[in-house]
Structure 1
């Protein structure tokens, strides 16, 4: 039997994303809880920063242009296939839905929440990386097509706009 080819061996790594939302500094009434909710999701996208590059033609320089960094564009965080639940009992947390319903009802100002995304190598495994975002606002929430046979989760997809993204290093 031939030895496995190390160049073609594939290591399949699955990840689990734990998400926590916290009230941004200076948001909400005094004495309000700082923690909105905790959740776990199977997919997370939008951990992306893209800088605009501004080009300036410099006098006397004919072989190129000066390039400078402009504004940074942030993509919304997109969480897929998961749920925000109450600690221990597995019930959906009403605080998230109250935040969304208040926005739909026209409650102003809309409270903003910071977020923490912990990347784990599977459910309940050690943390591999931590991303944080600041001053998040909900953009879109999609629930599952309810089917008693499939046991789909409470949130199919959630989009959160934000004003800052960081990879936390140890």
Structure 2
């Protein structure tokens, strides 16, 4: 398929989760939640708060001061989290259930979002820190398609940066 004379490229996203070391509340907690493959990923964005300082006597502009960085929640759509054998892992759902039922301290996971090309090669990678499950929308089960997936997973996190693939 082409788009304006150029070959259209289809991308997918792979997400991996690793337990944040400093907050490990349970030595028996899984250090990995598996790897998720998703069709869409939104929220790879950050915004710097900038404050203006109007310096006295300077009439040609104002000084821009650096403020806090705000990051958007990651929203992963239409995917599934599996283990190394390709089976759906219950640990993700257990983590979500523990957070919502008040298990303390809360387990947090760091992770990577990898943009993959058609050959499953990593094109770009973003890392996020100390994620919490903010929202999950389960699959709409349909016996005709046989799909088992997460329709939408929203992660609140404390930092995002692009890393070398």
Contact 1:81-1:153 within 8 A present in 2 as well: no
What do you get for the CA RMSD once the two structures are aligned? 1.7
TM-score (norm 1): 0.88
Map of 1:46 onto structure 2: 43
Alignment partners' CA distance in 1, 2:48 and 2:7? 33
Greater shift, 46-55 or 25-34, is seen at 25-34
Map of 1:116 onto structure 2: 112
Match of 1:163 among 149, 153, 158: 158
Alpha-carbon distance, 1:85 to partner: 1.3
Alignment partners' CA distance in 2, 1:134 and 1:81? 22
Match of 1:147 among 127, 135, 142: 142
Alpha-carbon distance, 1:153 to partner: 3.5
Alpha-carbon distance, 1:161 to partner: 0.6
* Structure 2: unaligned runs, 5 residues or longer: none
Alignment partners' CA distance in 1, 2:46 and 2:154? 16
Contact 2:30-2:91 within 8 A present in 1 as well: no
Greater shift, 65-74 or 23-32, is seen at 23-32
Map of 2:98 onto structure 1: 102
- Count how many residue pairs are aligned between Structure 1 and Structure 2: 162
TM-score (norm 2): 0.90
Map of 1:93 onto structure 2: 89
Q: Which has the larger radius of gyration?
A: 1
Alpha-carbon distance, 1:10 to partner: 3.3
Map of 1:130 onto structure 2: 125
